């Protein structure tokens, strides 16, 4: 089985498995108690905290273990905003943050706060100037992921942290995808991470709050605990998570070289193997193991099923796999094609032969999905200067397929008006125009849904 979805959950690292089993004998008691069993458990927690601090590059008393990476994000954002409530109620996030950050921002807005969302380029990267422009006198907190979870783009964290520091604003960094590759540099103020991303067991997250950062824990607190988290959770899982983090960081330099070569192979060869494909994400500033591409005229969920039948587990950020009509917020923010989106995220130790076999089976899988959906063949007849395509009630990628089928039926300079009520069309039709060299004229209100106008230029 080719498991290529490590960005969601990395396989349990062998060191984590060993540490988990070993610590089950010692870490079952309450580490807050003074009797022998409690003291043994406390030794494990304290040692794990020291090791985690070394891996992050911070002080041990700045580290708190949480129930998950998402829990760490929620606690970190809420506590930082509450701690700086006298400064103001303005929050800054990027448009490609993990959903936990964006959900926190939405909740903040619903409670009367204000949020600025910094845009990204087509590679998925923010600009340092974008954060500088968003800063205000009432900014309480800024958030930026260290690397994107869908396309692998690495963000300029150190530079953004410096801009925020100069303005006296703390920066929270979501390091879930990158911490396994090494500490996050720069003068950040808070950091969150998730153990399942680096081969630790699920149910363990990290929240780091630097000394001097105003922080007020939110929600109920247990007496005798730090207040930032319950802190004494699943001790064997915590020990295993930190053991895995130390192990993968020790292996990171050598493994990064190998995975970069494999993902570059995928990035380079997929466009030649499969017609009408867009490889997305920054081509240089990127994580070693993630490569993402989008295929025209392909339903993402159907393609994932085809690849699963071939023995490959991959993921998709397209709207077709979400069960809704909403496209991926990351791809939407980047302005790239969302339909037929495939994320390949290679786990450490993946075999080169598995990557080669994936490249062998991918063209056939895409072709089968396109055939089932009736993907377009070249058309040459000319009937009218404008055609109307009614795609109301049809989900991605059908509106784009129907557009592609008829674009050849209008003369150069003629237009096609696509009627659609699928939100993904707002992103995919302009992306299709850019890929196919046609002109996107914009959208208009229609009696039902929205009309998207395309002019044929070639």
**Catalytic option among 58, 164, 320, 433:** 320
Tokens 């850019």 sit on residue = 434
Please say if 164 is a catalytic residue: no
Tokens found for residue 432: 């299709």
Please answer whether residues 329 and 96 qualify as being in contact, where contact means their C-beta atoms are separated by less than 8 angstroms: yes
DSSP tag of 290: E
DSSP tag of 68: -
CB atoms closer than 10 angstroms to residue 131: 25
β-pairing, 290-295 vs 341-345, is antiparallel
CA-based nearest residue to 394, from 316, 320, 336: 320
Angle at 330 between CA 325 and CA 332, to 5 degrees: 55
Please answer whether residues 173 and 165 qualify as being in contact, where contact means their C-beta atoms are separated by less than 8 angstroms: no
Tokens found for residue 140: 């309480």
Within 8 A by CB and 6+ apart from 148, the residues are 96, 124, 154, 155, 177, 281, 330
* H, E, C per residue of 347-392: CCCCCHHHHHHHHHHHHHHHHHHHHHHCCCCCCCCCCCCEEEEECC
Please answer whether residues 144 and 94 qualify as being in contact, where contact means their C-beta atoms are separated by less than 8 angstroms: yes
Within 8 A by CB and 6+ apart from 284, the residues are none
d(CA 329, CA 149): 12
Task: Give 158-172 as a DSSP string.
Answer: HHHHHHHHHTT--EE
Inter-residue long-range contacts of 301-309, CB under 8 Å, 24+ positions, other chains counted: 302/369, 302/372, 302/373, 303/340, 303/342, 303/365, 303/366, 303/369, 304/342, 306/365, 306/366, 306/368, 306/369, 307/342, 307/358, 307/361, 307/362, 307/365
Task: Give 74-112 as a DSSP string.
Answer: HHHHHHHHHHTTTT-SEEEEETT--HHHHHHHHHHHHTT
CB atoms closer than 10 angstroms to residue 112: 7
Q: Which residues are catalytic?
A: 320
């Amino acid at each position: 089985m080719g498991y290529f979805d490590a960005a969601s959950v990395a396989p349990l690292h062998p060191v984590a498995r060993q540490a988990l089993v070993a610590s089950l004998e010692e870490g079952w008691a309450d580490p807050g108690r003074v009797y022998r069993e409690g003291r043994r458990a406390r030794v494990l927690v304290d040692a794990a905290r020291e090791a985690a601090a070394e891996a992050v590059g911070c002080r041990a008393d700045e580290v708190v273990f949480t129930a998950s990476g998402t829990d760490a994000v929620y606690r970190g954002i809420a506590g930082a905003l509450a701690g700086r409530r006298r400064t103001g109620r303005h929050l800054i996030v990027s448009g490609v943050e993990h959903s936990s950050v964006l959900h926190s921002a939405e909740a903040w807005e619903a409670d009367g706060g204000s949020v600025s969302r910094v845009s990204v380029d087509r590679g998925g990267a923010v600009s340092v100037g974008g954060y500088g422009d968003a800063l205000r006198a009432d900014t309480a907190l800024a958030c930026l992921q260290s690397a994107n979870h869908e396309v692998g783009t690495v963000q300029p964290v150190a530079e953004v942290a410096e801009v925020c520091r100069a303005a006296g604003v703390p920066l929270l960094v979501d390091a879930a995808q990158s911490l396994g590759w090494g500490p996050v540099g720069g003068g950040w103020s808070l950091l969150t991470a998730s153990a399942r991303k680096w081969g630790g067991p699920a149910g363990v997250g990290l929240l780091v709050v630097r000394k001097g950062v105003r922080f007020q824990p939110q929600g109920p607190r247990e007496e005798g605990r730090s207040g930032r988290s319950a802190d004494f959770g699943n001790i064997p899982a915590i020990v295993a998570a930190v053991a895995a983090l130390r192990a993968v960081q020790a292996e990171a330099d050598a493994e990064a070289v190998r995975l970069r070569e494999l993902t570059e192979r995928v990035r380079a060869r997929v466009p030649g193997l499969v017609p009408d494909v867009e490889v997305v994400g920054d081509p240089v500033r990127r994580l070693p193991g993630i490569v993402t591409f989008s295929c025209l005229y392909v339903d993402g969920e159907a393609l994932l099923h085809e690849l699963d039948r071939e023995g490959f587990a991959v993921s998709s950020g397209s709207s077709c796999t979400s069960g809704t009509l909403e496209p991926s917020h990351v791809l939407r923010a980047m302005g790239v094609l969302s339909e037929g989106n495939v994320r390949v995220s290679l786990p450490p130790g993946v075999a080169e032969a598995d990557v080669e076999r994936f490249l062998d089976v991918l063209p056939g899988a895409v072709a089968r999905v396109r055939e089932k959906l009736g993907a377009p063949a070249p058309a040459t007849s000319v009937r009218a200067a404008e055609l109307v395509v009614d795609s109301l009630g049809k989900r991605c990628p059908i509106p784009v397929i129907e557009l592609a089928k008829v674009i050849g039926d209008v003369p150069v300079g003629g237009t096609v008006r696509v009627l659609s009520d699928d939100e993904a069309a707002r992103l995919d039709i302009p992306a299709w125009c850019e890929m196919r060299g046609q002109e996107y004229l914009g959208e208009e209100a229609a009696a039902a849904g929205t009309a998207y106008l395309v002019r044929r230029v070639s």
